[in-house]
Homo-oligomer: A and B are copies of this chain.
Amino acid sequence: MRNVYIAGVGSTTFGKHIAMPIETLAVQAAASAIVEAGIERKEIGALYLGNFISGPLNGKEVLAGIVGSRLGLGNIPCTKVEGACASGGIAFRHAWMAIASGMCDAAIVVGVEKMTHSSTAEVTSALNCAMDNENDGPSGLTFPGLFGLAWRAHAQRYGTTREEVAAVVIKNKANGLLNPLAQMGAELTLEKIVASAMIADPLQMFDCCPASDGAAAIVLCSERLLSKNGQERIKILASAQTSGSPRIADHPDLCSFEATVTAAHKAFELSGLQPEDIDLVELHDCFSIAEIIDSEDLGLVPRGQGGKWAAEGRTNMGGDVVINASGGLLAKGHPVGATGIGQIYEVVQQLRGQHPNQVPNARIGMTHNLGGTGVACTVNILGRE
């Protein structure tokens, strides 16, 4: 396999873009990434697009071909991939594969979602397409319900407290305030969090990421096409994709997602790195408790200590490992298909030393994108050469 580099990145803001057609969001992010990459369009040999629920919410499919055509990329293969909330991460891995395997020297990946024009009922129903509805549907569980159960299990086994979980929310919402792309940064306190509406006990409103519109894009390339435009050389050190049981009742443990554990293991194996080498991670905090579980599953925090580390500031700026300096899904937003690409956008800006909430001297960053009930996962490790 050949080395693969980041050539350019682009992103819309995450938030409400009600008047923008979904493909326009995607084209905006992608065009920015192409311009930044300084690579001629004719060099781009493949397009991957990550999207989850444009069919149900926008009545639009074949978005990969539509976006490729709008970008003027010619007759190249344009492929949409879907893996629920991990759609973006899976799309990224395929763009990486296209170059690593020698199929082409440059590829573009775009992640996009448009949700905020729909009603809460429509969004909830569409998001539930990521459940194993044949088996879990009769239980009536939605995603807040699942993560509420996970929180209860984590609290019972490890003694994780409301204060510890709230520390995740306070940190990410504060980080989001510093990120101009973020939808919902906020200055929060424990009091404000516990006063917010109950969603799925014990999850309250501020424990849940918002519905979002947005797009992010990355141009990847082989060493031959790497621009000499003075940008830092950002190399993809590992790209791992795994799956796990879609059925909640089949999860051996609600305090852990097997897909994350196996993806992290594989990413460390591929890169030859250890958890201690990771300076920062953008991980999949769709709910506050998810950040705690993810940080343990990734091996970045000792098992059962995710809540304590958050409360002690060890996952904050200047801590042992910086988690979600961007604000994460909780504050930056969660335009589902765009999230996995947006995470890479954030890590690239960190490794370039250009992030508005910069981790000092960041050299190695990780992204973690989790789909559905843990049915799909991607973990990437990127490094500054």
| B133, A62: Cβ atoms closer than 8 Å | no
Q: Which of A10-18, A122-130, A278-286 faces chain B?
A: A122-130
Q: Which of A105-113, A222-230, A243-251, A357-365 contacts B (4 or more CB under 8 A)?
A: A243-251
CB distance from A42 to the nearest CB of B (A): 14
A78 touches B376 (CB 8 A): yes
Interface pair B59/A129, CB less than 8 Å apart: yes
Distance in angstroms from A342 CB to nearest chain B CB is 20
Closest partner residue, chain B, to A261 (CB atom): B75
Q: Which chain B residues lie closer than 8 Å to A77 at the CB level?
A: 90, 93, 241-243
Nearest opposing residue in chain B for A73, CB measure: B243
Q: Which residues of B contact A258 (CB under 8 A)?
A: 75
Chain B residue, CB-CB nearest to A77 = B241
Residues of chain B lying within 8 A (CB to CB) of residue A232: none
Report B-chain residues with C-beta under 8 Å of the C-beta of A100: 101
Most buried by B among A21, A56, A259: A56
Decide if A61 touches B246 in the complex (CB within 8 Å). no
In the complex, the answer to whether A62 meets B83 with C-beta atoms within 8 Å is yes
Distance in angstroms between the alpha carbons of A109 and B145 in the assembled complex: 33
**Closest B residue by C-beta to A80:** B82
Residue of B at shortest CB range from A93?
Answer: B77
Asked if B101 and A66 make an inter-chain contact with CB atoms under 8 angstroms apart, the answer reads: no
- B101 near A62: Cβ-Cβ < 8 Å: no
In the complex, per-residue mask of A354-382: 1 if CB is within 8 Å of any chain B CB, else 0: 00000000000000000110011000000
Q: Known contacts A97-B103, A372-B62; is A129 also within 8 Å of B55 by CB? A: yes
Q: Return chain B residues, CB-CB under 8 Å to A320.
A: none
Give Cα A68–Cα B372 distance, bound, in whole angstroms: 14
Contact status B64-A83, CB under 8 Å:
yes
Which residue of the partner chain, among B60, B101, B242, contacts A129 with CB atoms under 8 Å?
B60
A-side interface mostly: mixed
Q: Give the residue of B93, B128, B243 whose beta carbon is less than 8 angstroms from that of A59.
A: B128
Residues of chain B within 8 A of A246, CB atoms compared = 62, 65-66, 69
B contact residues around A53 at 8 Å (CB): 55, 61
- Please name all residues of chain B whose beta carbon is closer than 8 Å to the beta carbon of A60 when the two chains form the complex: 129, 133
- Report the contact-size class of chain A (Cβ under 8 Å from the partner): 35 or more
Q: Are A243 and B75 in touch, CB under 8 angstroms? A: yes
- Residues in B neighbouring A247, C-beta threshold 8 A: 69
**Across the two chains, which residue of chain B brings its CB closest to A61?**
B129
Interface contact A66-B103, CB-CB below 8 Å: no
Whether B61 lies near A84 (C-beta < 8 A) is: yes
Does A5 have its Cβ within 8 Å of any Cβ on chain B?
A: no
Is the Cβ of A94 less than 8 Å from the Cβ of B65? no
A151 interface residue per 8 A CB criterion: no
The verdict on A76 contacting chain B, using a C-beta distance below 8 Å, is yes
Q: Are B130 and A243 in contact (CB under 8 A)?
A: no
Interface bits A114-136 vs B (CB < 8 Å: 1, else 0): 00000000000110111011100
Docked CA distance A316–B61 (Å): 35
**What separation, in Å, do the CA atoms of A77 and B128 have in the docked complex?**
21
Q: List 11 A-B contacts (CB under 8 A).
A: A59-B125, A59-B129, A61-B82, A61-B129, A64-B376, A65-B372, A76-B242, A77-B241, A78-B243, A80-B83, A97-B103
Task: Please name 13 further chain A to chain B contacts, defined as beta carbons within 8 Å, in addition to the given A61-B82, A78-B375, sorted by A numbering.
Answer: A61-B84, A62-B129, A62-B371, A62-B375, A62-B376, A65-B84, A66-B132, A69-B246, A69-B247, A79-B241, A82-B82, A97-B97, A97-B101
